[in-house]
């Protein structure tokens, strides 16, 4: 399961892809960044740093867009929020279309929906017809061997590959596999994501560490940053309570204010 894919249905003219091409892993911190641009063919490119002048800052930090000052207008609104890049990842119709399915499967398997969205964004850019050169399929780029592992088989109507292009089947199996990887690696998200990208054995053979493959290291970094991007905004803190002065009853107040007769 990787970051690159091609389409298997020529009738679809729009192309949506996220291609991680970073050559060094940047630690995911509060200031982690995602840079990106859309090329002439309509393909989205994302990286964890500005590789060349085509890249513009898309996202920084935990849960809010934070473009550079040059990308704000006189009202202070981020110009990037109106860009095609922003709307492709945040407001693309397929994000809304598949959110109920994602939330259903995430809740069923106790996985953060933001994490599932992040994996889908990096794997397929929410294209249900995505097919990678290595044969990974659909929204979560599930390979046929993984589908078979979770009970998919060919039948008279459809092959495993065809079944994996069904969004409901693809997300169901992809989320189950992600949940199993989290369990396998003791809820270590970085290792689970590395295994999702490079395979469980690659992680084990590297002493339960992220394998030293640039693609896998970039993948882990990008997914974690997109997970932060898809987290719902934190609720605003409640305003502080105003102190309230409670006066004693009138009769008691009068008794206190009036000294007793001699």
The domain segmentation of the chain, as residue ranges, is: 6-230
Residue 111 and residue 182 in contact, taking contact as beta carbons nearer than 8 Å: yes
Which of 40, 123, 200, 201 is an active site residue?
123
Burial (CB < 10 A; 0-12, 13-18, 19+), residue 212, is exposed
Architecture of domain 6-230: Orthogonal Bundle (1.10)
| pLDDT per residue rounded down to tens, the chain (262 residues) | 644 434 443 333 333 333 332 222 233 333 456 777 777 776 667 776 788 888 877 666 433 333 333 444 433 334 445 456 666 677 778 999 999 999 999 999 999 999 999 999 889 889 999 998 889 999 999 999 999 999 999 999 999 999 999 999 999 999 999 999 999 999 999 999 999 999 999 999 999 999 999 889 989 988 998 898 888 877 777 777 766 666 665 555 555 555 556 5
Side-chain-side CA neighbours of residue 101 (13 Å): 21
Give CA angle at 235 (238, 228), nearest 5°. Answer: 150
pLDDT at 260: 58
Active site residue 161: no
CA quadruple 66, 122, 163, 195: dihedral positive or negative?
Answer: negative
Alpha-carbon span 228 to 58, nearest angstrom: 13
pLDDT value, residue 245: 61
Place of tokens 């719902």: 232
Report which of 12, 203, 219, 41 is spatially closest to residue 123, judged by C-alpha positions: 219
Residue 111: what pLDDT? 98
């Amino acid at each position: 399961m990787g970051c690159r894919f091609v389409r298997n249905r020529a009738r679809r003219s729009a192309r949506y892809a996220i291609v991680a091409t970073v050559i060094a892993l940047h630690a995911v911190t509060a200031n982690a960044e995602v840079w990106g641009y859309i090329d002439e063919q309509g393909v989205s490119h994302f990286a964890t740093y500005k590789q060349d002048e085509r890249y513009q800052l898309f996202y920084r930090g935990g849960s809010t867009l934070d473009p550079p000052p040059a990308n704000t207008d006189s009202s202070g609104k981020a110009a990037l929020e109106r860009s095609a890049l922003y709307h492709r990842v945040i407001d693309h119709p397929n994000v809304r279309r598949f959110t109920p399915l994602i939330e259903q499967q995430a809740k069923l398997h106790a996985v953060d929906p933001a994490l599932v969205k992040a994996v889908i964004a990096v794997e397929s850019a929410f294209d249900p017809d995505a097919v990678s050169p290595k044969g990974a399929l659909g929204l979560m780029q599930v390979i046929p061997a993984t589908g078979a592992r979770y009970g998919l088989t060919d039948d008279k109507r459809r092959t495993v590959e065809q079944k994996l292009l069904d969004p409901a089947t693809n997300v169901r199996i992809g989320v189950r596999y992600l949940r199993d990887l989290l369990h396998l690696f003791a809820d270590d998200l970085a290792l689970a994501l590395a295994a999702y990208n490079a395979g469980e054995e690659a992680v084990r053979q590297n002493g339960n560490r992220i394998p030293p493959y640039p693609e896998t290291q970039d993948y882990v970094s990008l997914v974690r940053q997109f997970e932060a991007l898809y987290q719902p905004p934190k609720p605003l803190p409640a305003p502080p309570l105003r102190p309230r002065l409670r006066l004693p009853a009138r009769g008691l107040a009068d008794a206190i204010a009036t000294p007793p007769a001699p």
